Structure 1
């Protein structure tokens, strides 16, 4: 694998260092990650040379740089001001859709020993939680890291823009899973897809435990941080844009907001119970996200094809979904995996698996063994 451009990220986990160590190959790694790598492979993940556990030494310079970044963020209470702490880079947005824009950004006064960042701006929205909540909620290996909230500064001084929120997040060079699928001539091997699904599900287990509903789970909202079509263990994906739904516990739509990400239901990915007219916040649940996870899996097998793509009218899609019709089986999807996907689309919520149950079903098929016991939920828990 190639080392990341960001010196504060472990090349194995692509996360900020917590306990960096220098190995014999001259590269720095997160201690636990390189120990596990050496035990399994015995060689450097970057150079291929032999490595030994006895020759791992603490890297104090990088540890100090990471600690300084974390402390400075905490001292700001994870709240930054545009054009004072961070700024948008010149040029067009990296991505733009209804009420949502993503901009490449940089730290001020410079980017030295700071992770690469983007600004996610959602118009017509209020944040319901403190900035520290967003940061803590994103401290999971398969959730896009949020470094804090950003407020705009106008000529009259520092004032919050009450009609939008901006999140400061880590940058994914490789774009989304949708982008990757569209750029390829053929769908990745099924084992590669299952590894991607398992990482997404790990993130969703964490969000569900913390009573957070994603609301828009799709390939476009899964970012690729590393992809290796020959080895599933070298893949890292992360979930983004969770909570962006009209009944979110994280955000709220501002009065009079026009068409935005928060008040549009992604019809072709949505569970039947949230496609009705009189939906309530109680209709958005872990089980509605599980339904969308099944659609995401179908979409990945289908190389990013939009669900129900041959049907132009969304109302016809709603009619079919609420009547219990299912998308057709992709030819490259194994029968046993297809049965699992169909289970996520059960019309009855009690018949749909939870994300933890879905993980077990996939792992039993993927490894042909019962999955190991999951780590204590407290390792990543953030109860709200």
Structure 2
């Protein structure tokens, strides 16, 4: 019988839970659509380097059964787990800011389950059932929440979530020697716009959209379609229908991220899809500026507030094309009613991808023609 390691339910190509697992010639299991595309591009095995054949792919029923068992086990306990019974967390946090801490976590009762982390938030309580948070996270570009961990310390909540191998988009960009190709970032923006449209449809306001709250599961600086990002930390605003503040002190619910905030959020604490859209524009600026802090030349929040509420916006990043900047400008229009919805932004980004791909293709063809005309 095959022995499964802790992440045996995760496809090595997609870094996601299997949906349709198939076994290849190299003895490894892959997500069917991913390995088919991989082989069609004439790549050798990503594990052994040997040649792979489409005709030899066969269903892996053992992995499929493990996936079904795992999903059923989550439903059986109503997405609620007990600390040190179902899951254990490491003593020290790997990340801590304000009232949020992230810990590495390990399943105890589900040894074949995927890698996970534990997110602890102080100063909030859940207003909705754990199943609501879990179902909301089923979108392909929203970080998956497996459930709530109990018992939680007073006035806090602990969520069990999937692990992002590449960390946050902010940290990834900060580690790069240069800004990734624009088409790579636009693919990421498109994925996040899709996730935000889903949240808006479910009447959930994010409230803290920024590169630090975009997690990277796959990064390929050469192929846009090989990148995968997911949204995290949504629903933590004072207007949230998911979590509520439990005291009058400063909590994660009450903090306005000034450097990403819209004029109406600063002036009237008015949170909506359109204020999230303004933050999306700032987030795109941040990514195209290689994780530069917005308004980094200004020290005080007071001055930033004065500038934003007077209609001033961030300047165009050096590595941003005019075509992309025109799309970003629509997200930061002063009048909130004139900003697009996230569904509209998703369509604009799709058109932009097509436009830039054609420009790139034309440029390559022009250079090739020019080189052929040069004397030998």
Do Structure 1 and Structure 2 share a fold, with TM-score over 0.5?
Answer: yes
2:94 corresponding residue in structure 1: 94
Is 2:157 the counterpart of 1:165?
yes
Is 2:224 the counterpart of 1:237?
no
In 2: Cα distance, 1:53 partner to 1:15 partner: 21
Is 2:319 the counterpart of 1:332?
yes
1:81 corresponding residue in structure 2: 82
Contiguous gaps of at least 5 residues in structure 1 = 153-159, 371-384
Q: Contact (CA 8 Å) 1:98, 1:259: kept in 2 or not?
A: no
- TM superposition shift of 1:15: 2.0
In 1: Cα distance, 2:31 partner to 2:297 partner: 47
- TM superposition shift of 1:354: 1.1
2:360 corresponding residue in structure 1: none
- TM superposition shift of 1:180: 0.9
Alignment deviations for residues 224-272 of structure 1 (CA, whole Å, 9 cap, x no partner): 111111222221111110111111111100024x322221010111111
Instruction: Report the TM-score when normalising by structure 1.
Output: 0.86
Superposition pairs of residues 188-203 of structure 1, within 5 angstroms? 188-203=180-195
Larger Rg computed on CA atoms: 2
Contiguous gaps of at least 5 residues in structure 2 = 358-376
- TM superposition shift of 1:102: 0.6
In 2: Cα distance, 1:14 partner to 1:265 partner: 33
Q: Contact (CA 8 Å) 1:15, 1:141: kept in 2 or not?
A: no
2:366 corresponding residue in structure 1: none
1:263 corresponding residue in structure 2: 254
Q: Contact (CA 8 Å) 2:14, 2:218: kept in 1 or not?
A: no
Instruction: Report the TM-score when normalising by structure 2.
Output: 0.88
Alignment deviations for residues 28-47 of structure 1 (CA, whole Å, 9 cap, x no partner): 22234444555x52545625
**CA shift in 2, pair 1:44/1:239, >3 Å:** farther
**CA shift in 2, pair 1:73/1:262, >3 Å:** same
In 2: Cα distance, 1:363 partner to 1:189 partner: 16
In 2: Cα distance, 1:85 partner to 1:5 partner: 15
1:155 corresponding residue in structure 2: none
RMSD: 2.1
Is 2:15 the counterpart of 1:14?
yes
Alignment deviations for residues 292-341 of structure 1 (CA, whole Å, 9 cap, x no partner): 11100100111111111111111111111111101011111001111111
- TM superposition shift of 1:74: 0.9
In 2: Cα distance, 1:358 partner to 1:25 partner: 42
In 2: Cα distance, 1:260 partner to 1:104 partner: 23
165, 179, 183: which one pairs with 2:171? Answer: 179
Is 2:306 the counterpart of 1:306?
no
Q: How many residues align?
A: 352
1:273 corresponding residue in structure 2: 264
